[in-house]
Amino acid sequence: MSSQFLSWYLCGLLGLTCMFVSLITVVPEAESKRTVALYICAVCAMMFAALGLTCGSLSAQHWVNRSGILRSILVVLAIGLTLFLLVGVIG
């Protein structure tokens, strides 16, 4: 998988998480924690969107698009976030 695809995947996953967090009704004491989680998801989604745009605008031969370390980090983040959300929904 390309770095651009993984960046957009993580952006979409975090965007959906942000949307679902905004739909949750919580008690007033936990409202600040929900707001912090919402903003963290939104900022991370925007950062991955910026990375996806950057990877898409660079040539395929650029070192960012060929970086194995970046791709490995994105794969680990994608798998980890997907499993975390699945366990949160199912469990």
The reported pTM is 0.88
Across the chain, how many H-helices and E-strands are there?
4, 0
Q: For position 30, what pLDDT does the model report? A: 85
Q: Where are the beta strands (DSSP E) in the chain?
A: none
Give residue-wise pLDDT tens across range 3-61: 999 999 999 999 999 998 888 888 888 888 889 989 999 999 999 999 999 999 988 88
Q: Domain count of the chain?
A: 1
Domain coverage including residue 56: 3-90
Assess contact for 64 and 3: CB atoms under 8 A.
yes
Q: Retrieve residue 68's tokens.
A: 């194995």
- Distance in angstroms (rounded) separating the CA atoms of residues 52 and 2: 10
Contacts of 52 (CB under 8 A, 6+ apart): 4, 7, 8, 11
